[in-house]
Structure 1
C-alpha cells in the first residue's frame, strides 16, 4: 500500500473512531472587531508561489491585526521521469524529492520591504530557508539578518520530523539530536529570535506505547535551550500523527494522553520558555471533534493562558473566507474559554512574544551590524 493510500485509510479509521464533529456555536469577538493575530502563516507554497504581502493585507482587513510571514523552506522538485508534464504543487502530488530553497528568505524580505512603514508594522517576517541538518545553518541565519536588517523577527516554521515530508527531503535526514539544530537554537537565543519549530510528537502509523517516539528527544532539546523563545507548532500533531488518547480523563505512566503530555510540559519550570500553537485545520478537527475534546482542551488552556497561540497555517489563501476558515472552525473552543484566556490565545500572546522578539533582534542588529 502506498503512502497516500495509507493516509486515506487512516483518516477514515480516525473519523470512525472519534465520531461526528462537534457542532460550532455562535462565535464571540471582541469589541474592536479584530478576531486574531496569526502566529503561523505561509505566504508561499511548496513550489514557492503564492500571494503578495500587499494582497495578504487586503485579506486581513480589519479582522486580523498582525501576522507572521513565512516562506516554505522546501521546494518540490518537478521530475519529468516521475510525473511527466504534470507539474506538482504539493508534496503529496509527486514521489520526486524535496530540497531546501534558501531564496525564500530574500523573497519574504523583499515582500516586506515593498510595504509602507505602517503596513510593515503588522508583519513579523521569519527566516526559514536553511537546512537544520547543516552545521552552517546558523551562519545562513546570521547572513540573512545582516543582509536584511530591520526585517526579521525569528526563524520558522522549520521542520525536523514531519509525516510524509521527512522521507522526501534530499540529503541527510534532520534530527533532534543533531548538533546543527543545537547551534541554530543557540544562535536564535543569543539574538532573541522567536523560533517556530515543527516536529511530530510521534511516527506516523505508530501503535500506542509508553511515550510517543520523539517526545523525550524533543523535551531534551527544549531544555538545552532555555534562553530561546520557542513555539512548538501544532502541539506536535499531524494528519495521521493524531493525539494520544485525546480527551480521556484517565492518566497513567503506561498510556499518557495528549492532554497529560502537554500539561506536564507546561508545568515543568525547565520548559517555561516553550509555548504551543494550535494552528492548522487538522489540529482544529481533533480539538473540536466532540464536546469532551473541547472541554479537555479548554480546561488546559484556561489553566495556562499565557502558553498558547492561535495561527491559521494557511498557505497563500485565495480569499478572506478561506483565510478565516480555521479560526471559524475553533468557535467551540473560543466559546469554552474564559474571555480573558481567549483574548490572550487569539491576540495578546502573539503581541507579547513577537514584540519582545522584534525588540531583541533590532537591538542585536544595532550592536552587530555596521551601516
Structure 2
C-alpha cells in the first residue's frame, strides 16, 4: 500500500486545516444562515391564467397556491394569441411549438380574465392585479380595444401586458406582420398607458436566434425615449428560452442593461424564468457578482415572476429558485426585488376615477 511521505502528509494537513478555517469563518456562517433562515414575501410579477389554447385552472386554485408559497400578490393576464389546430394535424398540439400551425391574435382573452377576477371575493381580488393584453400590436386599432375594455371593466385593470412583440419562433408562427416595440400601433398603446398610469409589461427580444449582438435593442430604446411618462417592464430582460437554445448565454446582456438603466428612468426589468439561469446564478448555483452589483445599484428597478401558463402548482417553487440570488443581496434590496417593486408600479387610483374625471372634463 502506498504511503505518504512526511512532507506530503504535512502539506495535506495544512490544506485540510485551511479549508476548515475557511468554512468556519464568520462570513460563511452568516451567508449560510441567511440563506437557510430568511423567508421572503413575494409578488409574482408575471403570470398568465391561460395557456396558448385559452385554457387554465380557476383563480381560486391560484389563491391557494399563493397562500401555500408565501406569495402576497400576483399580476395576472391572459395570452394574446391562440394556437390553431390545423385541419391537417391529426393530434391537437400541446404547446405553440408543437407543430407548424399558425397563431392568431385573440382579444377575448381579456374578457376571460376580467370575468374570472370579478367572481372572486373582495379580499382575494385585492391580491391580484389584472393586465390587459388581448390586442394585435401591429394594429393601430389596438388602443381602441384598450379603451373599450377599460370602460367595460373600469375597476379591474392595473396594467398592460404581456405585450408580445419580437419573440423568435412564436413570432414566426404568428399570422401577421412582425410586431415591434417602436411601431405606430404600439405608440398609440403607450399613450393610453400614460393617460391611465398603467405600467406596460413588454416582451421584446434583444436579438435574434443567430445574431450574437443586441440586434433589436434600438426598438426598446426608441419606445423608452419617446414615452418617458410610461413605466416599461421588460419581460425576461429581453431574453427567451429559444435564444438560449441557440446561443447559450448572451455575453452582451449585462452591459446593455447597465446602459439602458442609466439612460432611462422608466425602465424596469422582469427577471422571470429565462433570466435566472444562466445569468443570475452560475453553474454552481451561486449568485453572479455582476448581476448582484447591478440590482444593488438600481434596487427599485427589478422584479421576479413565475411566467406560469394557466397552471399554478409550480409557482411557489419557481419563485423560491431565486433564494440564492436574493440571499446575496442586502436585506432591503432582496425584499424589494421579491415583492415590493412590482407593487410600486401599479396605478395609484382606480381606472373608474380617471374615467369619471374625463367625463367631467367633457361636460
State the TM-score, normalizing by the size of structure 1.
0.82
In the TM superposition, residue 326 of structure 1 has moved relative to its aligned partner by 1.8
Does residue 288 of the first structure (1) align with residue 281 of the second (2)? yes
Q: Secondary structure at the match of 2:120?
A: coil
Superposed counterparts of 1:151-162, under 5 Å: 151-162=156-167
Q: Secondary structure at the match of 2:353?
A: helix
> What's the counterpart of residue 155 of structure 2?
150
> What's the counterpart of residue 223 of structure 2?
221
Superposed counterparts of 1:152-191, under 5 Å: 152-191=157-196
Q: Secondary structure at the match of 1:165?
A: helix
In the TM superposition, residue 247 of structure 1 has moved relative to its aligned partner by 9.3
In the TM superposition, residue 241 of structure 1 has moved relative to its aligned partner by 2.3
> What's the counterpart of residue 133 of structure 2?
128
Q: How many angstroms apart in 1 are the aligned matches of 2:140 and 2:34?
A: 46
Q: Conserved in 1, the CA contact under 8 Å of 2:61 and 2:312?
A: no
> What's the counterpart of residue 42 of structure 1?
48
Q: Conserved in 1, the CA contact under 8 Å of 2:42 and 2:72?
A: yes
Q: Describe the shift of the 1:96–1:311 C-alpha distance in structure 2 as closer, same or farther (beyond 3 A).
A: same
Q: Conserved in 2, the CA contact under 8 Å of 1:25 and 1:335?
A: no
Q: 1:350 aligns with which of 321, 338, 342?
A: 342
In the TM superposition, residue 137 of structure 1 has moved relative to its aligned partner by 0.1
Deviates more, 1:359-368 or 1:345-354: 359-368
Partner deviation per Cα, 1:192-214 (whole Å, 9 max, x = no partner): 111100000001122x34xx110
Deviates more, 1:102-111 or 1:184-193: 184-193
Deviates more, 1:67-76 or 1:357-366: 357-366
Q: Conserved in 2, the CA contact under 8 Å of 1:307 and 1:349?
A: yes
Q: Conserved in 1, the CA contact under 8 Å of 2:234 and 2:267?
A: yes
Q: Conserved in 2, the CA contact under 8 Å of 1:70 and 1:128?
A: yes
> What's the counterpart of residue 53 of structure 1?
59
Q: Describe the shift of the 1:349–1:176 C-alpha distance in structure 2 as closer, same or farther (beyond 3 A).
A: closer
In the TM superposition, residue 76 of structure 1 has moved relative to its aligned partner by 0.2
Does residue 337 of the first structure (1) align with residue 342 of the second (2)? no
> What's the counterpart of residue 259 of structure 1?
254
Q: Describe the shift of the 1:293–1:260 C-alpha distance in structure 2 as closer, same or farther (beyond 3 A).
A: farther
Q: 2:210 aligns with which of 194, 205, 214?
A: 205
Partner deviation per Cα, 1:63-97 (whole Å, 9 max, x = no partner): 1000011100000000021x21x111311102100
> What's the counterpart of residue 234 of structure 1?
236
Deviates more, 1:299-308 or 1:360-369: 360-369
Q: Secondary structure at the match of 2:181?
A: coil
> What's the counterpart of residue 11 of structure 2?
none
> What's the counterpart of residue 366 of structure 1?
356
Does residue 72 of the first structure (1) align with residue 62 of the second (2)? no
Q: Describe the shift of the 1:25–1:238 C-alpha distance in structure 2 as closer, same or farther (beyond 3 A).
A: farther
Q: Secondary structure at the match of 1:91?
A: coil
Q: Secondary structure at the match of 1:366?
A: helix
Q: How many angstroms apart in 1 are the aligned matches of 2:32 and 2:226?
A: 42
Does residue 118 of the first structure (1) align with residue 123 of the second (2)? yes
Q: 2:305 aligns with which of 308, 311, 332?
A: 311
In the TM superposition, residue 289 of structure 1 has moved relative to its aligned partner by 2.6
Q: Conserved in 1, the CA contact under 8 Å of 2:171 and 2:178?
A: yes
Larger Rg: 2
Q: Conserved in 2, the CA contact under 8 Å of 1:244 and 1:258?
A: no
Q: Describe the shift of the 1:262–1:360 C-alpha distance in structure 2 as closer, same or farther (beyond 3 A).
A: farther
Aligned length: 326
Q: Describe the shift of the 1:107–1:160 C-alpha distance in structure 2 as closer, same or farther (beyond 3 A).
A: same
Q: How many angstroms apart in 2 are the aligned matches of 1:215 and 1:272?
A: 16
Q: How many angstroms apart in 2 are the aligned matches of 1:226 and 1:262?
A: 17
Partner deviation per Cα, 1:20-66 (whole Å, 9 max, x = no partner): xxxx97874897x5531011001100000011111100110151000
Q: Describe the shift of the 1:149–1:299 C-alpha distance in structure 2 as closer, same or farther (beyond 3 A).
A: same
